[in-house]
């Protein structure tokens, strides 16, 4: 009977056939240990000369890395491996013999691995990171569906920018100019006025010449938007959502976290509520810590964020930034209009900002004024202003960067390993 590695626990004591690739092998005169992978998991196959016969055993010993096979054998429990099962190989059929697979068990440099990303994805750690990514996506849909949100898909081709025009990829749209979306937010605000609580999940593009471990040119963002919710309500949604995702990864990705040697004790602590610190207090804190390079009114860089995050063992919200350094649509604090009702959520362990969010301006006149101050003239945003004209309500939303969240939960250093085919400043291949 045909099965997969993920399903072998249901077949203990039975003879099954699995389509697999040979990841690695070790052998002696009488026994060969075949490290098999089939996409759904990783398992050892044990080939014994006395069982297979001389000829077949020699064939097993000669198997090359990444050759594809149908392997047949009896599934047995194996308490020594954390997977818990192995196969006693009774036979195999080679589908294709792979010659000179470029990624050998020895160490390779990052550029080499990135050039072979289409193959590197097969390796144990890369597989684990993608499984964690998949679990975060699954838990995201679960969280928002259970809580009454409607998934809405904003467009990717847009006629204007959402945040600022410097980071946009330009293209032609027949005779018009068009841009790749850098955020679906403005459209999600329209959707919130139609459906109440909505979320999007899609690719976003930033033509930013940043070359850091936290920046991708193309990345995926989850953008919830909620009518009748103020900034504080939104922070509660954010901490509940992030806690849910962390718990889901802990519950469903045990072997993947283990393959990545992730310290899960730090993830166990990630439970709502999360601490909050105001931008004002963050500036004072940084000055006390000896950062002389920061003045009130300036944005934080990665070292600042890391220094703040180090004081907590949970993600921390930095709230109420100066209006000057934030997007035009953020609602000013009524008691202190020089700051806005916003927060960035900073992950622990130096993974940086994973969420940016705010309450949005709901007053038509103020929004018009902000527009003009930002030099946003013309008709491109008429529809956005109309949302403030016909039954405007308080509303808030946020955007969570998927890859930074994957990096944090997986414990991988650089976001380039958190997306199947990364687009970086100097990389569009493969
Ligand atoms: O802070 P950002 O730019 O916020 C927005 O785009 C809002 N319109 C979201 C909203 O309120 N609906 O981006 C949100 C998150 C960041 O916190 C970060 O996690 C991620 O997106 N992000 C990036 N991830 C990888 N590479 C980049 N270049 C990123 N830029 C932002
Ligand atoms: Mg941000």
* Top mutation candidate among 162, 186, 219 for ligand 1, by most atoms within 8 Å of CB: 219
Q: Tell me the per-residue pLDDT of 129-162, one tens digit each, with 9 for 90 and over.
A: 999 999 999 999 999 999 999 999 999 999 877 6
pLDDT at 391: 98
Ligand 1, CB cutoff 6 Å, lining residues: 162-163, 183, 185, 206, 208, 215-216, 219, 221, 223, 353-357, 397-399, 401, 403-404, 415
pLDDT at 246: 99
Q: 378 in helix, strand or coil?
A: coil
pLDDT at 242: 99
pLDDT at 163 over 80: no
Q: Tell me the per-residue pLDDT of 193-231, one tens digit each, with 9 for 90 and over.
A: 999 999 999 999 999 999 999 999 999 999 999 999 999
* Residue with CA at minimum distance from ligand 1 atom 18: 401
**Cβ atoms of residues 87 and 44 within 8 Å:** yes
pLDDT at 376 over 90: no
* Six-digit token string for 187: 């459209």
CA–centroid distance, residue 401 to ligand 1 (Å): 6
Phi, psi of 107 (to 5 degrees): -75, 140
- Three-point CA angle 400, 184, 246, nearest 5°: 15
Looking at residue 361, the DSSP 8-state letter turns out to be P
| Arithmetic mean of pLDDT over the chain | 96
Which among 29, 10, 25, 121 has a CA at the least distance from the CA of 69? 25
Domains of the chain are: 5-96 (2.40.50.140), 117-417 (3.30.930.10)
pLDDT at 360: 98
pLDDT at 104: 93
pLDDT at 232 over 80: yes
The region of weakest confidence among 351-355, 361-365, 373-377 is 373-377
* Residue with CA at minimum distance from ligand 1 atom 21: 401
pLDDT at 358: 98
CA–centroid distance, residue 359 to ligand 2 (Å): 14
Q: Could you tell me what percent of the chain has a pLDDT over 70?
A: 99
Residue with tokens 């030099």: 375
pLDDT at 244: 99
pLDDT at 45 over 80: yes
Q: Could you tell me what percent of the chain has a pLDDT over 90?
A: 94
pLDDT at 162: 65
Dihedral, CA atoms, 261, 314, 252, 184, nearest 10 degrees? Answer: -110
Question: What is the CB neighbour count within 10 angstroms for residue 419?
Answer: 22
**Cβ atoms of residues 64 and 97 within 8 Å:** yes
* Six-digit token string for 331: 């609602």
pLDDT at 361 over 80: yes
Length of the chain in terms of residues written: 430
Q: Tell me the per-residue pLDDT of 91-121, one tens digit each, with 9 for 90 and over.
A: 999 999 999 999 998 899 999 999 999 999 9
pLDDT at 159: 87
Which among 353, 412, 408, 418 has a CA at the least distance from the CA of 218? 418
Average pLDDT over residues 58-72: 98
CA–centroid distance, residue 332 to ligand 2 (Å): 17
pTM above the 0.95 mark? yes
pLDDT at 164: 65
Distance in angstroms between the alpha carbons of the first and the last residue of the chain: 37
């Amino acid at each position: 009977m045909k099965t997969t590695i993920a399903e072998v626990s249901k077949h203990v004591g039975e003879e099954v056939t699995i389509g697999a690739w040979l990841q690695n092998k070790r052998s002696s005169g009488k026994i060969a240990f075949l490290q098999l992978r089939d996409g759904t998991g990783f398992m050892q196959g044990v080939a014994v000369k006395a069982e297979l016969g001389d000829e077949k055993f020699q064939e097993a010993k000669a198997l090359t890395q990444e050759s594809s096979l149908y392997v047949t054998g009896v599934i047995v429990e194996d308490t020594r491996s954390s997977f818990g099962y192995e196969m006693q190989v009774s036979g195999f059929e080679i589908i294709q013999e792979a010659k000179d697979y470029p990624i050998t068990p020895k160490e390779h440099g990052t550029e080499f691995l990135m050039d072979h990303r289409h193959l590197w994805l097969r390796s144990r750690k890369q597989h684990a990171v993608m499984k964690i990514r998949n679990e975060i996506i699954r838990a995201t849909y679960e969280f928002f569906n259970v809580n009454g949100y409607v998934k809405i898909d904003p467009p990717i081709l847009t006629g204007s920018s959402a945040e600022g025009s410097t980071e946009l990829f330009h293209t032609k749209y027949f005779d018009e100019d068009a841009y790749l979306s850098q955020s679906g937010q403005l459209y999600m605000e329209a959707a919130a006025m139609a459906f109440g609580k909505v979320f999007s999940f899609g690719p976003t593009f930033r033509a930013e010449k940043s070359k850091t471990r936290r920046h991708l040119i193309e990345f995926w963002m989850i953008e919830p938007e909620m009518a009748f919710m103020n900034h504080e309500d939104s922070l509660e949604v954010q901490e509940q959502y992030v806690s849910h995702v962390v718990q889901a990864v802990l519950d469903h990705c045990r072997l993947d976290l283990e393959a990545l040697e992730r310290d899960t004790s730090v993830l166990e602590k990630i439970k709502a509520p999360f601490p909050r610190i105001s931008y004002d207090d963050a500036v004072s804190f940084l000055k006390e810590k000896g950062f002389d390079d920061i003045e009130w009114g300036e944005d934080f860089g990665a070292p600042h964020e890391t220094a703040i995050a180090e004081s907590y063992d949970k993600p921390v919200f930095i709230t109420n930034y100066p209006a000057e350094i934030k997007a035009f649509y953020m609602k000013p604090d009524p008691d202190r209009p020089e700051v806005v009702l916003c927060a960035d959520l900073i992950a622990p362990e130096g993974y940086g900002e994973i969420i940016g969010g705010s309450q949005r301006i709901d007053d038509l006149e103020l929004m018009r004024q902000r527009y003009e101050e930002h030099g946003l003239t013309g008709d491109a945003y008429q529809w956005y202003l109309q949302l403030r004209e016909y039954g405007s309500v308080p509303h808030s939303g946020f955007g969570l960067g998927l890859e930074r969240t994957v990096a944090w939960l997986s414990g991988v250093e650089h976001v380039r390993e958190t997306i199947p085919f990364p687009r970086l400043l100097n990389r569009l291949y493969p």
